[in-house]
Amino acid sequence: MTQNGAERKKFSWGSMRPYLKGGRVCLYTGLFLGLVDAAAQASVPMFFRYALNAVQQDAAAFMHGGFWPMLWLGAALMIVFLPGAYFFHVLSTVGFMRFCRNLQVALYRHVLRMSVDFFQRYRVGEINARLNSDVEAVVNAAGFVMTIVWGPALLIYSIVMMLMINVQLALICIAMLLAIAAMTLVALPPLRRWHRQVRDASGEVSSAVTEYVGIFGLLKAYSREDYAEMQVRGKSDDLLSQREKAAKWQNAFTDAMQTVTRFVAPLAILFIGAAWIYKGALKAGDLAAFWGYWLQLSGVVQGLVFTFSGLMGSVAAMDRLAAFFAEQPLVKDPENPKKLENVLGAIEFRNVRFRYPVSDAGEGPVLTGLNLKIAAGERLALVGPSGAGKSTILSLVLRFHDPDEGTVLLDGEPLSSYAQRDLHAQMGIVLQESLFFAGTIAENLRLGKPGASDDEMWNALDAANAGGFVRELPQGLATILGERGAKLSGGQKQRLAIARLFLKDPRIVLFDEPTSALDSESESHIKDAITRLFAGRTSITVAHRLSTVRDADRIVVIDRGAIVAEGKHEELRMSCKLYDELCRRQGVA
Ligand code: ADP
C-alpha cells in the first residue's frame, strides 16, 4: 500500500537523468558506435552486389580492376567494425550499469531517509523487491537499450539499400518482415505466460527448499525427512511439467519461424529474383544482396519485437521505482531548524492526540488528548495494560511520528522545530530486544560514538556491567555479533546496548523493558547499570514488570491512551484500582 498518491507516479526519462551521472559519456558514445556498427554491417551485402554484377558483366576486367580496391575496402570496414562493435557493447553496457548503480544507491538513500511510517506501510519483502528485483529488471534492459538503437539503425540502412537496388523486391521483403513481426507478436503472450509459470514453479521449489532447511531440526526430531523430500519432489515435478510445456511452445514457435525465415522467404526471394533476372529487370548481384539483407533483417526484426516487449517489463519496474522515489517522509525537518544547545531534557506532551497513519480502518486514536510533563532529570515509569499506548509515547518522543493534534515539546520547544538528527543525538533508546548488526562488538558500540577509543569502550562496558563477560570472550571487543556471530544471552545483549548508550551519553533515555524476566544474576547487573545510566538524565521506562518500577520518581498509569493515575508505587496501590490489579496479577508486593 502506498500513500501520497505515489502509486500514480509514472516513470519518465527526464526524472532518470540525474542517475546517468558518470555513465552518460560512456552510454552515448557506445550508442553512437552502435550506429557506426550497424552501417558497417549493412554495407556487406552491397559488396556482393557490386562484385557479382561486375563479374557477370566482365569477369576479367573485374579481376584486374575492381577486385583489389573492393578487397581493401572490405578489410578497412572490418577494421572499423571490430573495435566499433567491441566499444559499442562495452561502453553502452558500462554506461548503463553505472546508471543502474546510481539508481540503486539513490533508492537506498531515499529509503533510509523515510520516516518510520514508511517501514510500516511497506513490508520488508516489498522494499527488498524494489531494491533488488526491480533494479535487476532495469539492469536487464541493458541489452534492450543496445538493440533498440542498433536494430532500427540496421533496419533503416538495409531497407534504404534494398529500395535503391530494386523497389518491388524491397517491398516484398518488407511485407515478409512485417509478417515475421506479426507472427512474433502473436506468439509472445503465450510464450510469456509459459515462462512466468516456469518462474513461479521454480520459486515454489526454492521456497520449499528454504523452508525445510529452516525446520531441519524439527524434521530430524520427528524423523520426517521423507516428508520434506516428498514435498520438494512434488514441487520439482510441477516445475518439470511446466518446463516441458514451455519447451514445446518455445520450440514450436522458433522452428516455425525458422522455416519461414530460412526456407519460405529465401526461396520466394530466389524464385521471384530469378524470374526477374530472366526478364532483365534484376542482376545476379542484386539478388545476392537481397539474400544477404534478408538473413540480417529477419533476425533483427524478431529481436526487436522481443526487445520491445522485454522493455515493457523494464518500464513496469521503472514505474514501480518512480512510485517509490515519489514517496515522501511524513515526518519532515523544518526549513530552518532551531539549534539544540545546552539541552536540559524536559519533555512535555501537550494535548496530544495520535492515530497511527496505517492503522486498520475504524481503529480509533491511540492517544486521546494526552497531557504529561516530565521534568529534566526525572525518572519516569509508564505502566498499563498491553496496547494502552506506552510504546507509542516513546515513539512520539523520538519523533518517529507527529501527533495529529497537540504538541510534544523538548525544553519548551516543539520537537518539530529541531532537525531530527540533532534531536536523536540527544536521545538514547534501549529496546525490548537489543539490536546489533553483523559486525564486531567494537563496531556495534561505536554506533553510539563514532571513533570511540578502546579505553572509552571499556569504561562504557564497565559502567554497563558488561566489561566482565566481554573480557572473557576470546576475541574481546573484536568478537563478531549478529546472526552467525557470538551467542550472547538476552541479559548480556541488553548490557551491551546499555554500554552503547553510555558511549553516546544522551540527555534523554527511553527504555522499553523486556517483557520476559531475565535470569536473576543478569537482572541485578542490569538494574545496577540502569541506575547508573539514568542518573542525571531524563528517563522514560515502559515497565512491563512492575517489580522494576519502584525506583522511579513517578509512575504514570496509562489505559487506552490516557493517563488514569500517577504517583509513587505505594500511593498508586492505594489509589489506583488498575495499578493495584496489575501488581496483584504479577505477584508484586
Ligand atoms: P503498549 O506499549 O502500551 O503495549 P502500544 O503503544 O504498542 O501499546 O500500542 C497502542 C495501540 O497502537 C495498540 O492498539 C496497537 O495495536 C497500536 N499500534 C502500535 N503500533 C502500531 C503501528 N505501528 N501501526 C498501527 N497501530 C499500532
- The per-residue pLDDT for 230 is 92
Full DSSP string of 246-294: HHHHHHHHHHHHHIIIIIIHHHHHHHHHHHHHHHTSS-HHHHHHHHHHH
- The per-residue pLDDT for 1 is 40
* Distance between Cα 389 and ligand 1 center (Å): 6
Q: From the CB of 318, is ligand 1 less than 6 Å away?
A: no
Same domain, 44 and 128: yes
* Distance between Cα 392 and ligand 1 center (Å): 6
Cβ atoms of residues 427 and 418 within 8 Å: no
Contacts of 359-365 spanning 24+ positions with Cβ under 8 A: 365/404, 365/561
Provide the residue type at 321 as one letter.
L
The CATH number assigned to the domain holding 166 equals 1.20.1560.10
CA-closest residue to ligand 1 atom 1? 387
Q: From the CB of 536, is ligand 1 less than 6 Å away?
A: no
Q: From the CB of 387, is ligand 1 less than 6 Å away?
A: yes
As a whole number, mean pLDDT of residues 541-547 equals 81
- The per-residue pLDDT for 409 is 93
Most confident of 12-21, 534-543, 578-587: 534-543
Distance CA 372, CA 390 (A): 12
Same domain, 288 and 412: no
Residue 280 pLDDT > 80, yes or no?
yes
* Distance between Cα 529 and ligand 1 center (Å): 28
- The per-residue pLDDT for 161 is 95
Domain extent at residue 130: 6-191+261-324
For ligand 1, pick from 356, 546, 556 the residue to mutate: most ligand atoms within 8 Å of CB.
Answer: 356
For ligand 1, pick from 120, 122, 330, 366 the residue to mutate: most ligand atoms within 8 Å of CB.
Answer: 366
Same domain, 406 and 523: yes
Pairing label, strands 379-383, 538-542: parallel
As a whole number, mean pLDDT of residues 132-159 equals 85
Residue 45 pLDDT > 90, yes or no?
yes
Same domain, 352 and 315: no
- Number of domains into which the chain is organized: 2
Same domain, 296 and 444: no
CA-closest residue to ligand 1 atom 13? 387
Cβ atoms of residues 557 and 572 within 8 Å: yes
* Distance between Cα 427 and ligand 1 center (Å): 21
- The C-alpha angle 281, 283, 289, rounded to 5 degrees, equals 120
Distance CA 245, CA 70 (A): 50
Residue with C-alpha cell 584486374? Answer: 64
Q: From the CB of 366, is ligand 1 less than 6 Å away?
A: yes
Same domain, 300 and 407: no
- Report pLDDT digits (tens) over 294-353: 999 988 888 888 787 777 777 777 888 888 888 888 888 889 988 888 889 899 999 999
Per-residue cell: 522: 543478569
CA-closest residue to ligand 1 atom 6? 389
Half-sphere exposure of 377 (CA within 13 A, CB side): 3
The CATH number assigned to the domain holding 485 equals 3.40.50.300
As a whole number, mean pLDDT of residues 264-281 equals 93
For ligand 1, pick from 392, 397, 542 the residue to mutate: most ligand atoms within 8 Å of CB.
Answer: 392
- The per-residue pLDDT for 15 is 74
CB atoms closer than 10 angstroms to residue 49: 22
- Report pLDDT digits (tens) over 220-258: 898 888 998 999 999 999 999 999 988 888 888 888 888
Ligand 1 atom nearest residue 384's Cα: 3
- Is 276 within a domain? yes
- The per-residue pLDDT for 20 is 81
Residue 514 pLDDT > 80, yes or no?
no
Ligand 1 atom nearest residue 561's Cα: 10
